[in-house]
A and B are shown apart, each in its own frame.
Chain A
């Protein structure tokens, strides 16, 4: 026999270094818990079909699309969202600086997902080739920039993080 459906389930997780908890329905998607439960509206809801990557977050050290995870599955997990990328004093991360310097955004809708994905990519591969970057962000769609300046923004950050200077200009 199917179970009676419980109204709410308790979940707790670490988000951007802070312990948080809440009550969710089992069907609550993680993106909705983050945005509506915790007020973290940085991760965006774009396509809702696991294509666009606007909802990308870091879950236990991996980039994931938070529109395709139930909040109950993330019980006990450690999560980083775009809100957790800058230093606590507000100093921008090299990636955020890169997106600004290289004009890596126009409308900005895809930017939180792009940066959060690139943040994990640069930990997986601190010295990526242009190809590695394009493959690495292949799960994130941008409908404005043509990707050129997004790739440059990530190259800028990779250079800065390894102590080098990035000499190219934005397109």
Chain B
């Protein structure tokens, strides 16, 4: 399987990369870890005229704390997310989600930026970013702008990224200390996309949910932020009846495709099961 021919560029800075992308036109694509794009190119589902490799741009790499946010450079690999002490200590749901993405070799090269910016509803990080209330820092020829993860996804492979723009960094607000979290993913095998998955971050006070946020993966054209379901849970002790109502509200916003992972109704129900499990696990971890 040999991709169509293309010209290769390896800029050293963000400004050089976005200038190239805007000069080369809409058939040019940025290349991050390549673990979504290269398989698409091998199948000739993507035939970019030019690849602008972001791999040599130092300012796109690394994980750091900036005030109340964790800033993750777009070309940071899933393996680096898993290995980060800062993430393990402050936003461990990111580590948990990265661990269930693909396999070790893919995580060596696949990047968190590619995962969130590609717009594939099967990717795991977008729903986690919606759950965490992350913001995406986008760079273009005209400068930088920020878009909330919850506003970024418009349809399958359609995002708020404009032609010529790249994702530079992800800004994750550090969740409250003592928060509970879980990313529960149902998949047929290692390396598969989710049949359905749910991300939960919550805080508990006096046995009741003080805050709650929920993201759902691969049960719609875009990742989903289940705002109504979370609202139902806040103030409750996460008792069975309230969880059932919240799960029903979450299931109601799903519209999965019927595919080899199962019929749509099954996948919607599995989103509910994953959410129920994620709520239990998150509650047990909250302090």
Q: What residues of chain A have their CB less than 8 Å away from a CB belonging to chain B?
A: 1-6, 9, 25-27, 29, 32, 48-51, 53, 56, 59, 62-65, 68-70, 72-73, 117, 121, 135-136, 138-139
A53 to chain B, nearest CB (A): 6
Query: B34, A139: Cβ atoms under 8 Å?
Result: no
* Residue B7 interfacial (CB < 8 Å): yes
Cα(A94)–Cα(B8), bound, Å: 40
The one of B2, B23, B39, B190 that contacts A138, using a Cβ cutoff of 8 Å: B190
Known: A2-B49, A3-B49, A68-B38. A139 touches B105 (CB 8 A): yes
B258 to chain A, nearest CB (A): 23
Contact with A along B63-100 (1 / 0, CB 8 A): 00000000000000001000000000000000000000
* Residue B51 interfacial (CB < 8 Å): yes
* Residue B161 interfacial (CB < 8 Å): no
List chain A residues, Cβ under 8 A from B28: 2
List chain B residues, Cβ under 8 A from A65: 105-106
A140 to chain B, nearest CB (A): 8
List chain B residues, Cβ under 8 A from A72: 8, 10, 53
The A-contacting residues of B in range 189-227, CB under 8 angstroms, are 190-191
The one of B7, B35, B49 that contacts A68, using a Cβ cutoff of 8 Å: B35
* Residue B177 interfacial (CB < 8 Å): no
The one of A26, A29, A50, A62 that contacts B35, using a Cβ cutoff of 8 Å: A50
Query: A139, B109: Cβ atoms under 8 Å?
Result: no
Contact with A along B1-29 (1 / 0, CB 8 A): 11111111110000000000001110110
Query: A68, B103: Cβ atoms under 8 Å?
Result: no
* Residue B104 interfacial (CB < 8 Å): yes
What are 12 inter-chain pairs, A to B, with CB distance below 8 A?
A2-B28, A2-B50, A4-B7, A25-B5, A49-B1, A53-B105, A59-B108, A62-B108, A65-B105, A65-B106, A73-B55, A139-B191
